[in-house]
Chain A
Amino acid sequence: MDAQDHQYNIALPGTTIDALIVGAGIVGAACARELSLAGLKVTVCDESDVIGGGATAAGMGHLAVMDDSEAQFALTSYSQTLWHELSPQLPAEAEYLPCGSLWVAADAEEMEEVNRKFRFYSARAIRVELLDEQQIAEAEPNLRPGLSGGLLMCAASVCYPPCAAAFLMKRITFLPGRRVIAVSSDGVDFADGTRLAAGLTILATGTEITRLVPNAPVYPRKGHLLITDRYPGFLNHQLIELGYLKSAHSTESDSVAFNVQPRQTGQILIGSSRQYGTEDPATESHMLSRMLARAVEYMPGLTELSAIRTWTGFRAATPDKLPLIGPCESLNNVYLATGHEGLGIATSLATARLLADHILGRASAISLEPYLPGRRFAAHG
């Protein structure tokens, strides 16, 4: 049976399109909504017949603000504001949950980093709270005793990304099951031999970008996740260990970090691992064990919970941890919106707004400069 109108429209052949978006992940969906709200005639195509079936179906959906760099902070905090504005409109199935997130410090050294973050965010008007040993134990009774404290990011929330993407795609024309094999300044070629003309094309293909733009500096970075049965009340906030930063920063070796999330269903989503150099989507038991062992170190009670599913996904990583947003250097009328690594759900809305501002010549709230695909990348080791 065909999808019905309130899901998405199916494009009619022979119509003219202002903007074609390749990729119906959360980033493509957000771009589609932005441009369509601006009055453009937008079509989205995807090689799969599911909205949000790529990395978007795998990601944790933590709508976080991060401070790796000023540019990362600018994009994540702007995007969080946009999520906040959008949240009243989100349908129930998008499972938007303003649970706040909590950086967990295991020792004095990590507590120093918590203090630094506290100063960083306070200075930028982000709502944060410092928790000491006792306060963190009260906030999350299932954490192991004896942790040094933590930093509560009050405005953080989580969502269910595939349904958030479907919401963003509402009333947008969708061409399912169409794989783009070539892009030019006036449109795209599909694998089935057909062509589609478009005024402009946005490539929001996640890790797959290098199939269309071979020199794009994007590498797949595998992650494992596990979800439990329902245990309402077991976990209150998204929790992340400070060691996560070491894991996220390492660009070579495989790493795991304690990263757990409460779902609206009462389930607990447990992450996460980071691996380069593999494109095999299988769940690897040794990575899963390592990841779980790390989680259990922080939350011993997890061992008794029932795991119902594991899966993996691929983040689109770039050398400088910032996404590629803006004109494609080698092709006129073609734009990139990819390379969001582990923050693509969080930053999808800001990505779309900035790109639309650029395309439409509007002023934007933050500078697009740091994310331009043509920027220089320092050699990375």
Chain B
Amino acid sequence: MIVVVGAGPAGIAAALRAQECGARVTVVDDNPAPGGQIWRGDSNVWLTRFRASGIPFIASARVITGDAQAQTLLVETPEGARKLTWDKLIIAAGSRELFLPFPGWTLPGVFGAGGLQALAKSGLSVADKTVVIGGTGPLLLAVAAYLRQHGAHVKLIAEQASPAGLAGFAKELLRNPNKLLQGVALARHIAGSPYVTNCWIESATGQGRLEAVTLRQGRRTWTERCDFAAIGYGLVPDNELATFLMNSPNVVIAGTGELNLAILEGEIAGFTVAGYPERALGLYGKREKAHRFATALQHTFALRHELKSLPRPDTIVCRCEDVTFGLLCEFPNSRAAKLHTRCGMGPCQGRICGPAAEFLFGWNPGSLRPPLFPAKIGSLMPATTE
């Protein structure tokens, strides 16, 4: 039995390819429907094929821990905990947004860019709302286009990268014509919203909720009133389970970040794990290319160091435990900070503040212990094995 964790593009591609090879596959995901972050509620060839495939899909199922020796996963579902046994495990857990603290980032109305898009997809009305988008990378354009389509007034897109870097990226785009087409389509949707480079949101203000953001471009700072701010500084892989089970030879990790790369990695993992690695041969060249593109993206949209000086001493870094930047500055490493300020000790266990602290201070992420995600105590007691 092959178990695939994650029903995003990589997980779906992996499951379908493995099934094509005749393997028995099950997919688990903590969302109610397949699609992951990007294909949430969408329809496309992969999703359609997946829905028709008959591959068992365990929905709303969070993998809370795994055992590399026993080759099991402990999964929490609304109906209770289940233990799944696997011969091969494909982890395609995707990624989450990187949040960088700045004054006011915890105000209601400030969202992750992907988060606001997901909320809009699941019903939050953005019609006639004024939105400022800030951060870095192509995701900002995709979010801007989506929000505009749904009636939002996107006042401005603040891209922290420099125009010189973007020019280099455009060259890379020319080598990937279909990316270029996507870009043109996006550009049509964002026309009318200024796209400002070398620019970032410095602070957010408001009485109890967001009312305005202050932007900076070089020496110039100015304020824009808005209802929502959508901030996207990139993605952090959800690698808890992968890290935890890394030592097992029967675990394969597939796809994070850029969409095409994720699909290709999923396909390769599916063929390989199902015992037909030769079927993946034709994909390696494409993966190489997708990988190059992803690397170019990363290079172009690398975070500038000025972002490290956005937090003020009273800016919260750890939201679960209300730990401020000023307090964290007194500690030499993440463990000392954790033990003495409770930074990262809350329900998110440093999933939000950990990557921020890594960026701000260069700290290592904390260690992992089961449960890898908050879980009911009842789920951690002997469960039936399937």
B347 and A229 within 8 A (CB): yes
Name which residue of chain B comes closest to A50, CB basis: B336
A307 and B382 within 8 A (CB): no
A366 on the B face (CB < 8 A):
no
A11 on the B face (CB < 8 A):
no
B339 and A50 within 8 A (CB): yes
B381 and A293 within 8 A (CB): yes
Question: Which of B257-265, B300-308, B372-380 lies at the interface with chain A?
Answer: B372-380
Q: Which of B339-361 contact A (CB under 8 A)?
A: 339-342, 345-347, 349, 361
Known: A49-B336, A308-B346. A229 touches B374 (CB 8 A): yes
A181 to chain B, nearest CB (A): 23
B340 and A288 within 8 A (CB): no
Question: Which of B3-11, B145-153, B189-197, B325-333 lies at the interface with chain A?
Answer: B325-333
Contact pick for A285, options B335, B336, B370, B377, CB 8 Å: B370
B330 and A4 within 8 A (CB): yes
B369 on the A face (CB < 8 A):
yes
State in angstroms the CA–CA spacing of A309 and B367 once bound together.
11
Enumerate chain B residues within 8 angstroms of A283, measured Cβ to Cβ.
369-370
Name which residue of chain A comes closest to B336, CB basis: A50
Enumerate chain B residues within 8 angstroms of A292, measured Cβ to Cβ.
377, 380-381
B315 on the A face (CB < 8 A):
no
B371 on the A face (CB < 8 A):
yes
B370 and A310 within 8 A (CB): yes
From B339, B342, B371, B382, name the one whose CB has the most chain A CB atoms within 10 angstroms.
B339
B288 on the A face (CB < 8 A):
no
Known: A304-B376, A308-B374, A310-B371. A53 touches B339 (CB 8 A): yes
B375 and A3 within 8 A (CB): no
B48 to chain A, nearest CB (A): 36
B349 to chain A, nearest CB (A): 6
Contact pick for B65, options A49, A270, A285, A302, CB 8 Å: A285
State in angstroms the CA–CA spacing of A300 and B341 once bound together.
32
A310 and B375 within 8 A (CB): no
A162 on the B face (CB < 8 A):
yes
A1 on the B face (CB < 8 A):
yes
B67 on the A face (CB < 8 A):
yes
A121 on the B face (CB < 8 A):
no
Known: A176-B332, A229-B347, A289-B382. A306 touches B340 (CB 8 A): no
B384 to chain A, nearest CB (A): 13
A305 on the B face (CB < 8 A):
yes
Looking at chain A's contact residues, is the secondary structure mostly helix, strand, loop, or mixed? Answer: mixed
State in angstroms the CA–CA spacing of A241 and B169 once bound together.
65
A1 and B330 within 8 A (CB): yes
Enumerate chain A residues within 8 angstroms of B374, measured Cβ to Cβ.
229, 306-308
A226 on the B face (CB < 8 A):
yes
State in angstroms the CA–CA spacing of A4 and B326 once bound together.
12
B331 and A288 within 8 A (CB): no
Enumerate chain B residues within 8 angstroms of A354, measured Cβ to Cβ.
none
Number of interface residues of B (CB under 8 A): 30
Enumerate chain B residues within 8 angstroms of A306, measured Cβ to Cβ.
347, 374-377
Known: A306-B347, A307-B371. A2 touches B332 (CB 8 A): yes
A339 on the B face (CB < 8 A):
no
Contact pick for B380, options A4, A304, A307, CB 8 Å: A307
B357 to chain A, nearest CB (A): 13
State in angstroms the CA–CA spacing of A226 and B370 once bound together.
10
State in angstroms the CA–CA spacing of A170 and B347 once bound together.
30
A307 and B349 within 8 A (CB): no
Interface residues on A, range: 35 or more
Known: A50-B339, A285-B65, A289-B382. A3 touches B330 (CB 8 A): yes
A304 and B377 within 8 A (CB): yes
A279 on the B face (CB < 8 A):
no
B378 and A303 within 8 A (CB): yes
Known: A1-B332, A7-B330. A289 touches B380 (CB 8 A): yes
From B333, B349, B380, name the one whose CB has the most chain A CB atoms within 10 angstroms.
B380
Q: Which of A1-46 contact B (CB under 8 A)?
A: 1-4, 7
A194 to chain B, nearest CB (A): 20
State in angstroms the CA–CA spacing of A305 and B330 once bound together.
34
Enumerate chain A residues within 8 angstroms of B375, measured Cβ to Cβ.
306-307
Enumerate chain B residues within 8 angstroms of A176, measured Cβ to Cβ.
332
State in angstroms the CA–CA spacing of A53 and B332 once bound together.
13
From A50, A52, A296, name the one whose CB has the most chain B CB atoms within 10 angstroms.
A50
Name which residue of chain A comes closest to B337, CB basis: A50
Q: Which of A116-173 contact B (CB under 8 A)?
A: 162-163, 166
Enumerate chain A residues within 8 angstroms of B333, measured Cβ to Cβ.
49-50
Enumerate chain A residues within 8 angstroms of B376, measured Cβ to Cβ.
303-307
User: 1/0 per position for B60-104, CB-CB distance to A under 8 A?
Assistant: 000001010000001000000000000000000000000000000
B289 to chain A, nearest CB (A): 41
B343 to chain A, nearest CB (A): 12
Name which residue of chain A comes closest to B346, CB basis: A308
A228 and B377 within 8 A (CB): yes
Known: A4-B330, A289-B382, A310-B370. A50 touches B377 (CB 8 A): no
B22 to chain A, nearest CB (A): 33
A304 and B378 within 8 A (CB): yes
State in angstroms the CA–CA spacing of A57 and B337 once bound together.
12
Enumerate chain B residues within 8 angstroms of A51, measured Cβ to Cβ.
336, 340
Name which residue of chain A comes closest to B321, CB basis: A265
From B65, B336, B349, name the one whose CB has the most chain A CB atoms within 10 angstroms.
B336
A93 on the B face (CB < 8 A):
yes
State in angstroms the CA–CA spacing of A162 and B342 once bound together.
11
A289 and B381 within 8 A (CB): yes
B residues whose Cβ falls under 8 Å from a Cβ of A: 65, 67, 74, 329-333, 335-336, 339-342, 345-347, 349, 361, 369-371, 374-378, 380-382
Other than the known A289-B382, A308-B349, A309-B369, what 19 A-B pairs have Cβ atoms closer than 8 Å?
A4-B330, A7-B330, A49-B336, A50-B335, A50-B340, A51-B336, A162-B340, A228-B377, A288-B370, A292-B380, A293-B382, A296-B381, A302-B377, A304-B378, A306-B374, A308-B371, A308-B374, A310-B370, A310-B371
List, sorted by A's number, 24 A–B pairs whose CB atoms are closer than 8 Å: A1-B331, A3-B330, A3-B331, A3-B332, A51-B336, A53-B335, A162-B340, A163-B340, A229-B347, A285-B74, A285-B380, A288-B370, A289-B382, A292-B377, A293-B381, A295-B377, A296-B378, A303-B377, A306-B375, A306-B376, A307-B371, A307-B376, A308-B346, A310-B369
